[in-house]
Amino acid sequence: MKIKICAFALLILFALSCQKSDKATEPAALENSPTDRACGSYQLLQSALAVDPALRDRMNAIEGFTARAISSGAAQKVNARGEIVIPVVVHVVYNKPAENISDAQIASQIDVLNEDFNLQNRDHRLVPDHFRDLKADVGIRFTLDRVIRVKTERHQWAVGYGEDNIKLSSRGGSDAIDPTNYLNIWVGNLGGGLLGYATFPGWPIATDGVVVLYSAFGRTGTLIRNYNKGRTATHEIGHWLNLRHIWGDATCGNDGVGDTPLHNTYNTGCPSADHRSTCTGTPLEMWMNYMDYTYDACMYMFSEGQKVRMLSTLVPGGSRASFVD
């Protein structure tokens, strides 16, 4: 009798072990599984500014335009006639089969963007009372226009000015599609432990867009633990719409937004609700903001100040105005 029971138990265990899951692939099964969030946008920007003084001039002009658009109220009115729609082209540039992510995984990322930019994400209810009145419905909707799949001989992609090869078919990547009218997102296997990076407004148009690690894109399919809710793309599109990291990429730095508190530096993991910086006034840190470095499950808001800064790029004459015209 004991033998029969043991055999039956083993059969059940075998059956359970063979069940397929629609959750993320286990991190151990993936070759590239960063454990901490790392964004290459600032790194890319600094490498570009070192060799392209004209980029600094363009970005300074954009900052001046941003200040005027916000102070005049133009940024606050840019989507008064309804939501702004940004069409998206996704380039899947893969070497191994796991990197050739499914259409379902891509669709899940578009869903996440539409939730996060329209305050329709369920977890926005977790925003602490201290910041509750600051969480913003940005009013931008993203639509998937097409998916381009490119098989490449390259195993990883680096980040740096002149090394943005994933965006160039001549270097094994995929050329951008009309970046003045489409947000181009490249999905591939990034090196250096990066989850993603983006170009800021003012960047050369041929390589303008967002890049995301294939295993941090979307919320279903081939994904790594802690970065499996699609928030890397939300973060990087924030950069593409002219947001800086919330700590200003410096100790108690300036992110150009008035209602985000000063941060000592970036946060990782999931900090406690009463986590404070040692900057002037020792403010509570807005670690749940999409522009920090916390886990996907612990970032769930843009602020009102970030909203108008992003919308200023879409004002007539702004750096992203072609998406509204």
Task: Please identify every residue annotated as catalytic.
Answer: 236
Q: What values do phi and psi take at 262, rounded to 5?
A: -65, 135
Report the alpha-carbon distance of residue 265 to residue 143 in Å, rounded: 34
3-class DSSP state for residue 112? helix
Report the alpha-carbon distance of residue 266 to residue 287 in Å, rounded: 8
CA atoms within 13 A on the CB side of 4: 1
Report the alpha-carbon distance of residue 79 to residue 76 in Å, rounded: 7
Report the alpha-carbon distance of residue 8 to residue 245 in Å, rounded: 55
- Biggest CA–CA distance in the chain, Å, is 83
Report the alpha-carbon distance of residue 234 to residue 93 in Å, rounded: 20
| Residue 120 vs residues 85, 244, 309: alpha-carbon distances, Å | 16, 23, 20
Angle CA(188)–CA(190)–CA(193) in degrees, nearest 5? Answer: 145
For tokens 């928030």, what's the residue? Answer: 231
Closest CA to 86 of 65, 125, 63, 117: 117
